[in-house]
Structure 1
Amino acid sequence: MSLIQVILMGILQGLTEFIPVSSSGHLVLAQHFFGIGDNENIVFELFMHLGTLLAVLVFFRKTLWELIKSLFSWGNTVNREQHRKNRTLVYYLIISTLATGVIYILFGDFMEAVFNMPMLVAIFLLVTGVIVFVSDYFKDKGIPACNIGFLQAVLIGIGQGVAILPGISRSGTTIACSLATGMKRKDAAQYSFLLSIPAILAGNLSQYKAFANLKPQLLINYLAGFVCSFLVGYLVIAFLIRLIEVSRLKYFAVYCWLIGLLSIVLIILGF
């Protein structure tokens, strides 16, 4: 890929990793229609995902630090109730992550095969549109993320597991599942982003051997994609949190329907 293509792919990754339109689905369709990207270039994709992972870590650095401190604060302190809530939130995040892992273990082979099926990816974008559209109409019951319960955490984790399918948005699905449990809209956004950390990290670690094939002459391209995905991803997080709070995700649903339908028509026509 040329440097321009790398920058475009980095921007695309940063935009679509967090907004509910499926980054993997867009990458599959971009590769199919425009030849942008390389299905064999796993290292480059890992660099871009690391960029969006860094965006989450930087944006939520204070929250993450508070969660970490609470894991080691068990004494009778002034903030013991807040520490208890933080530990409970970490517990639910772990439960959700484990549920995602189970889904991947059971259906991972099929999910990876879908990356070579652009028609199915386009159909899944239509499904994402439905999920995102419906999520705007879930009533905010004001339940804090630390009070959602075990089964609800499992449900959210299953939603994230299903979203491994390209075309199904991870953020859209986890936010919709969180809102369906009655979670506060702001907490639903934060929960989705925090839950993305182990998911993205696990996805990269599973391909760690690919770094052995790192070509030094392409390192500039890899770093360019990394920087673009980080910067754009960081800006998108704040933007999306605000949209979730005011129930404005339905616009992304319309976008998913348009892109999905257009892709299906073009694929049928042989493009």
Structure 2
Amino acid sequence: MILYLQVGHLSADCNYKIFIMDIFQVFFLSFLQGIVEFLPISSSGHLIIFPAIFGWKDQGLIFDIAVHLGSLIAVLVYFNRELYSMFFGFFNNNNQDKKILINIIISSIPLGLAGLLFGNIIENNLRFPLLIASSTAFFGLILWLSDCFGKRNVNGLNISWKIALLIGLGQAIALIPGTSRSGITIAFALIFGMNRANAVKFSFLLSIPAIGMAVVWQLINISSQGVSVPWNMFFLSGAISGLTAYIVIHFFLRFIERISMLFFAIYRLILASLIFFIFI
């Protein structure tokens, strides 16, 4: 996808050829990102294996920003009523909504701090296949075990600030490629007493500041490069990712109580095995 950054500097004929060559990549990776952003199956694992299979180069920061914005809009639209209630509940002293919003903020602090301190180090040094495969497998097992042994004794999203902080520490671990932000936050929420549906819902709500911070970090990284943005690809990627993410959120929440986390653990083990087989 780095090719798209060069579109404005190529001839008309070359533009046309590159567009035709890479349009499948845009559709496929945008669709894939919309799926893996919210399912507990490791986005890093998928975004390393499929480009390798198809022989694609790194998609680049502009593509990442586009699909992240699409996912962010999807979750904002889906939870617009809850967000409205939390926002106005905070100022109207609605204790329940206020508490949820405060817990989301608390859970987001560790990720923000870890990203500031270690984001560039992790991005430049830890995105290699062995670590991604190992993290994909290990945290898949953690997800399954948390589903097996979680107590399910928390009413709704009513957790203490201490538990919110612990879930946030888990979310910070997701900076390690292969972990899966949704996977680790769902696992920690299950460990500390939420049922599956509420664990998933809290994880999705946590994705709002998490994705927002990721986009800001990416914009800071790219702002000094002076690249030309291919707006047609930008909006197409964001739209595909956002629509896919919205559908995934809807059906995951609808069916999660019927699906054991064992399914996702097995899937992650298979994915990790494929990464080992292809790259190691």
TM-score by length of 1: 0.88
1:42-101 deviations in whole A, cap 9, x for unaligned? 011110011111110011011111111112213xxxxxxxx1111011111111111222
Q: Shift of residue 106 of structure 1?
A: 4.4
**Equivalent residue number for residue 231 of structure 1:** 243
Q: 1:121 to 1:150 in 2, by over 3 A?
A: same
**Equivalent residue number for residue 176 of structure 1:** 187
Q: Distance in 1 between matches of 2:30 and 2:70?
A: 9
**Equivalent residue number for residue 84 of structure 2:** 65
Q: Shift of residue 115 of structure 1?
A: 5.2
CA contact under 8 A between 1:145 and 1:184: conserved in structure 2? no
**Equivalent residue number for residue 196 of structure 1:** 207
Q: Shift of residue 29 of structure 1?
A: 2.9
Counterpart amino acid of residue 266 in structure 1: I
CA contact under 8 A between 1:10 and 1:229: conserved in structure 2? yes
Q: Structure 1 residue 215 and structure 2 residue 235: aligned? A: no
CA contact under 8 A between 1:26 and 1:167: conserved in structure 2? no
Q: Distance in 2 between matches of 1:228 and 1:115?
A: 28
**Alignment gaps of 5+ in structure 2:** 2-21
**Equivalent residue number for residue 134 of structure 1:** 145
Greater mean deviation of Cα atoms: 106-115 or 197-206: 106-115
Question: RMSD over aligned Cα, in angstroms?
Answer: 1.9
TM-score by length of 2: 0.85
Alignment of 1:45-194 (within 5 A): 45-74=64-93, 83-114=94-125, 116-137=127-148, 138-146=150-158, 148-194=159-205
- How high is the sequence identity, in percent, across the aligned residues? 36
Q: Distance in 2 between matches of 1:25 and 1:88?
A: 35
Counterpart amino acid of residue 42 in structure 1: L
Q: Distance in 2 between matches of 1:71 and 1:155?
A: 22
3-state SS of paired residue (2:37) = helix
Q: Shift of residue 114 of structure 1?
A: 4.7
Greater mean deviation of Cα atoms: 10-19 or 243-252: 243-252
The aligned length equals 257
- Find 2:261's aligned residue among 249, 256, 259: 249
**Alignment gaps of 5+ in structure 1:** 75-82
1:6-63 deviations in whole A, cap 9, x for unaligned? 0000011001000001113321333344333525x20111100111111100110111
Q: Shift of residue 242 of structure 1?
A: 3.0
CA contact under 8 A between 1:114 and 1:121: conserved in structure 2? no
Q: Distance in 1 between matches of 2:125 and 2:91?
A: 42
Q: 1:115 to 1:43 in 2, by over 3 A?
A: farther
